[in-house]
Amino acid sequence: MSRSRPDKRKHRPATVLGRAGRNPHEHRGAVNPPVFHASTILFRDTADLRTRGPNRLDDVVYGRFGTPTTFAFEEAMAAAEGGTRSVAVGSGKTAVAVALSSFLAAGDHLLMVDSAYGPTRSMAQGWLARFGVETTFYDPCIGAGIAALIRDNTRVVFLESPGSLTFEVQDVPGIAAAAHTRDCTVILDNTWASPLFFRPFEHGVDVSIQAATKYVSGHSDVMLGAITTTEETHVVVRKTAQALGATVGPDDLYLGLRGLRTLDVRLRRHMESGLALARWLADRPEVERVLHPGLEGDPGHALWRRDFLGASGLFGMILRPAPSAAYDAFLDGLELFGMGYSWGGFESLIVPSMLRGARDVAPWPAPERTFRIHAGLEDVADLQDDLEAGFAHLESRAG
């Protein structure tokens, strides 16, 4: 299979999103690559079978190992993230499992940020522990101080920035530098920023994970993940994905590829609306604190300004104390903000953050008063009106 023709000039990320992973003139000029529904792949003759058959890493030899549709998505994701290679898997969670198990074995030690996505934390505490990997959770604000936690058997430092639900920004280059002096692999869950607003490979990350379920596909209708790597880290990740039989259906890959084409315009709108709502909420009497690194007063703002190119539409808020019935009235009084897990689609969402018992290093204050908001692509004035109506319900039950 030929990869798409490389561009002669180096393009900027928004341009790369539109071009990577497609080669129209290999497909009679059709702008988008065709979708291959294929399990069995036929070999031309015995010579073809003997030469290509055993090479399962990057060739089209069996559906589970990837079709031209898989490789088109992977090529586009690698270009988008600014890495060298990418491996597509069936969900963000699978991407985390493949990335971690690629670099860890029994007897190894893993350093994981305390604010990692809940199911990522449980994967370390349960599944990896069962296979003899020990995990220590570290303070998201530790920075270069991570050096003191690195043991002789520490193999991986796992980051997620900003943190899930609590939005602490990590000093990624500082942590990566300390990890590399001890030969640890640096894995980052880059889902919040998407490939556009944090460039992982420019900040010392070795392996970048995207839950492409979120902004990459962008329409709340696909489960998809990608693990993007440098050239050196690619082979072990590819082999691990194959060992686990991790694979993705062609239509989901196609939707992921299609989502990438519009990521830049969507994300800029998510950013604009998210910041506008965050600023408005910060001034509301019902709100104690907004958790958004793009706000000037946020503890992560300086690092965010230094390292990020923008903000997505996902942020948090802590409400002032009120009876739980008042919070329920607020949520039930919203019309445009749906309640549902996941985010990154075109629609606005809100959920209680459920942070009780979700942190090892420092328990989160006010776990019952913390909420997560996803600013969708609706008119932001309508979103603000909706929250205002919700607050009227809250006040009516506040007593």
**Residue 108 a catalytic site member:** no
**Pick from 193, 223, 241, 271: which binds ligand PLP (CB under 6 A)?**
223
Q: Which positions ≥6 away from 43 have C-beta within 8 Å?
A: 49, 52, 53
- Catalytic choice (22, 108, 114, 117): 117
Q: Is the peptide bond before 250 cis (omega within 30 degrees of 0)?
A: no
**Pick from 36, 103, 117, 308: which binds ligand PLP (CB under 6 A)?**
117
With H, G, I as helix, E, B as strand and everything else as coil, classify residue 159: strand
Least Cβ distance, residue 8 to ligand PLP (angstroms): 36
Which one, 254 or 391, has the nearer CB to ligand PLP?
A: 254
Gap between the terminal Cα atoms of the chain? 67
Return the residue matching tokens 């959770």: 137
Least Cβ distance, residue 357 to ligand PLP (angstroms): 19
**Residue 64 a catalytic site member:** yes
How many beta carbons lie within 10 A of that of residue 342, not counting itself? 14
Q: In what order do the strands lie in the sheet with 185-189?
A: 85-89, 225-229, 207-211, 185-189, 154-160, 109-113, 134-138
Residue type (1 letter), 161: S
Does 211 bind ligand PLP (CB under 6 A)? Our answer is yes
Residue 305 phi, psi dihedral angles, 5° rounding: -65, -35
Which one, 191 or 348, has the nearer CB to ligand PLP?
A: 191
The Cα–Cα gap between 143 and 42 comes to 52
Quickly list DSSP for 133-154.
Answer: -EEEEE-TT-GGGGGGG--TTE
Is residue 72 within 8 Å of 13, Cβ to Cβ? no
Position with the least CB separation from ligand PLP: 92
The Cα–Cα gap between 34 and 27 comes to 7
Which one, 211 or 246, has the nearer CB to ligand PLP?
A: 211
Residues 83-112 that bind ligand PLP (CB under 6 A): 91-93, 96
Which one, 342 or 384, has the nearer CB to ligand PLP?
A: 342
Does 225 bind ligand PLP (CB under 6 A)? Our answer is yes
- Catalytic choice (19, 52, 56, 64): 64
* The token pair that represents 383 in the structure block: 């979103």
**Residue 189 a catalytic site member:** yes
User: Contact letters (x/-) for ligand PLP, 149-168, by CB under 6 A?
Assistant: -----------x---x----
**Pick from 139, 189, 206, 264: which binds ligand PLP (CB under 6 A)?**
189
Least Cβ distance, residue 210 to ligand PLP (angstroms): 9
Q: Count the helix, strand and coil residues of the chain and give each as a percent rounded to the nearest 5.
A: 40, 15, 45
**Residue 117 a catalytic site member:** yes
- Binding footprint of ligand PLP, residue count (CB under 6 A): 15
**Pick from 70, 170, 185, 191: which binds ligand PLP (CB under 6 A)?**
191
Does 213 bind ligand PLP (CB under 6 A)? Our answer is yes
- Catalytic choice (214, 266, 289, 372): 214
Which one, 216 or 387, has the nearer CB to ligand PLP?
A: 216
The region that residue 46 occupies, defined by phi over 0 for left and psi between -120 and 50 for alpha, beta otherwise, is alpha
The Cα–Cα gap between 291 and 317 comes to 5
Residues in touch with ligand PLP (CB under 6 A): 91-93, 96, 117, 160, 164, 189, 191, 211, 213-214, 223, 225, 342
Hey, which residues are catalytic here?
Answer: 64, 117, 189, 214
